[in-house]
Amino acid sequence: MFLEKTKNVICVLKSGGDFDMEYVEHLYKGVLENTTLPFKFYCISDVEGDIPGVHFERPILDLPKWWGKLLIFEMFSSGVYIDLDTVITNNIDPLLSLKEPFIALDNFQPSGSLASGVMVWNEDSSLIFNEFVRTNENYMARFNGDQRFIEFALQRRSKPWKKLQNLLPNFLISYKHHYLFAGLGDESLLIFHGKPRPRDVKSVWSGNYDSRNERKLRFVPFGQELSVDGRVFHDGGIVTSGKPFLVGE
C-alpha cells in the first residue's frame, strides 16, 4: 500500500477496452496543468507504459472491465481516483484539498446513487476490496457494476459517503446532461459516462470549449432550486431564459 505525503492521483487502464495510453497522458496533463498542489500520478494497468511523470503499477489481481477499480483501495491508503473518460478543464485544487473520509460522484440521476468516475478517500478504505475478495459471494454476478458494489460495501460497514457535487457545487458537469445543453462555464471537470468517449468529441479533446463563459442555458445545482421569471426549477432542470439565481438570494 502506497503512503505518500503528496496527493495520490490515480487512474486505471485495462487492456482490450475503449481506452489506451493516449487517455492516460491526456488525463495526466490535465492534472499537471490545473493544480498548484503537489501530487503523484499513478496508473494501474496490465499494459506496459512509459509516460514521463506517470508511475505505472501492475494490478495485484486480474479483474475484468471496471472491476479493476477496486484495486485502488487496497493499493493506496488515500487518494483521488479519476476515470479516463474525464476531461479536466479548470483548476482542481479544491478536489485535491477535500478532507472527508470518502467522497464520490452522484450519478446524475434522481436515485442519487454513488458513481465511481471520481472518488476521493482520505482514510484506509481497503474494506471495499476485502469485502470483494474475502467472501464467498459472487459480487460480479450480483451487481451490474463496481459502483453499485462500492456503495453496498460502504453501507455494509456503516461507512457513509459524501456527494462530490454537494461539497463542490458547480465544480463539474456531465457531458450528456449539461454540456450538450449548456456548454462549459467555469467548471473544472467534464464527465463523460458512456458514449461518446472524450476523444470522439474533437473540440473537447483538443481543449476548444466554444461555449466557455457564453452559456445560454444553465443546469440547476444539486440540492438547490433556481428561480427565473417567477418559475422554480429543481434538481436537474435546465433554465432556458433569463438570468438564473438561487432561491433566497
Q: Averaging pLDDT over each range in 7-21, 178-192, 203-217, which range is the top one?
A: 7-21
Q: Residues 76, 142: one domain?
A: yes
What gap in Å lies between CA 23 and CA 4, rounded to an integer? 24
Residue pLDDT, tens place only, 197-243: 999 888 889 888 765 433 444 445 555 555 555 555 544 444 444 34
Residue 146 contacts residue 192 (beta carbons within 8 Å): no
**Residue ending a domain, choose from 109, 142, 167:** 167
Mean pLDDT computed over every residue of the chain? 83
Residue pLDDT, tens place only, 120-165: 999 999 999 998 887 757 888 888 789 889 999 999 988 999 999 9
Q: Residues 12, 98: one domain?
A: yes
Residue pLDDT, tens place only, 41-53: 999 999 999 999 9
Report strand pairing: 86-88 vs 189-191.
antiparallel
Q: Residues 226, 131: one domain?
A: no
Sorting pLDDT into bands at 50, 70 and 90, what band is 66? Answer: confident
What gap in Å lies between CA 49 and CA 145, rounded to an integer? 26
Q: Residues 31, 138: one domain?
A: yes
Q: Residues 147, 225: one domain?
A: no
pLDDT of residue 210: 60
Q: Residues 124, 233: one domain?
A: no
Q: The domain containing residue 155 runs over which residues?
A: 7-167
The rounded percent of the chain whose pLDDT value lies above 70 is 82
pLDDT of residue 229: 54
pLDDT at 40 over 90: yes
Specify if 195 maps to a domain.
no
Query: CATH code at 22?
Result: 3.90.550.10
User: What are the b/e assignments for 60-94, b being 16+ CB within 10 Å?
Assistant: eeebeeebbbbbbbbbbbbbbbbbbbbbbbbbbee
pLDDT of residue 63: 84
**Residue ending a domain, choose from 167, 189, 205:** 167
Q: Residues 53, 147: one domain?
A: yes
Q: Residues 147, 230: one domain?
A: no
Q: Mean pLDDT over residues 82-100, rounded?
A: 96
Specify if 182 maps to a domain.
no
Q: Residues 60, 121: one domain?
A: yes
Q: Is 149 in a helix, a strand, or coil? A: helix
What gap in Å lies between CA 118 and CA 108, rounded to an integer? 13
Q: Residues 122, 240: one domain?
A: no
Domain count, the chain: 2
pLDDT of residue 231: 56
